[in-house]
């Protein structure tokens, strides 16, 4: 069993054996799950919005204003 203490800013430092066991580094995100008797911290593989870079392959320059307008028009047509 391990113990940790919160700082004045509400920060918590996990013991090194826990960080190593669950492969937690300074850039790891955790999901905080409220339970009736406490909270559960679950490491995730999400790395914020930067993790989405390169997910969609795009050729050439993109005009996001035009794309956004087209999507909004398509949604409007679908709702009517």
Mean pLDDT per block of 10 residues along the chain (80 residues) reads: 89 91 86 92 73 73 84 80
Domains of the chain in sequence order: 1-46 (2.10.260)
| Number of residues assigned to the chain | 80
For residue 1, the Cα-to-chain-centroid distance in whole angstroms is: 28
pLDDT given for residue 26 in this prediction: 85
pLDDT given for residue 62 in this prediction: 80
Which ranges of the chain would DSSP assign to H, the alpha helix? 16-21, 64-79
* Contacts of 47 by beta carbon, 8 Å cutoff, 6+ apart: 27, 29
pLDDT given for residue 49 in this prediction: 65
Task: Give the separation between CA 38 and CA 74, rounded to whole angstroms.
Answer: 45
């Amino acid at each position: 069993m391990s113990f940790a203490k919160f700082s004045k800013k509400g920060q918590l430092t996990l013991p090194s054996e826990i960080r190593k066991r669950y492969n937690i580094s300074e850039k790891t995100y955790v999901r905080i799950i409220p339970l009736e008797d406490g909270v559960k911290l679950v490491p995730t593989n999400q790395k914020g919005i930067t993790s989405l870079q390169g997910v969609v392959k795009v050729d050439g320059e993109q005009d996001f204003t035009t794309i956004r307008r087209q999507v909004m028009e398509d949604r409007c047509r679908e709702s009517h």
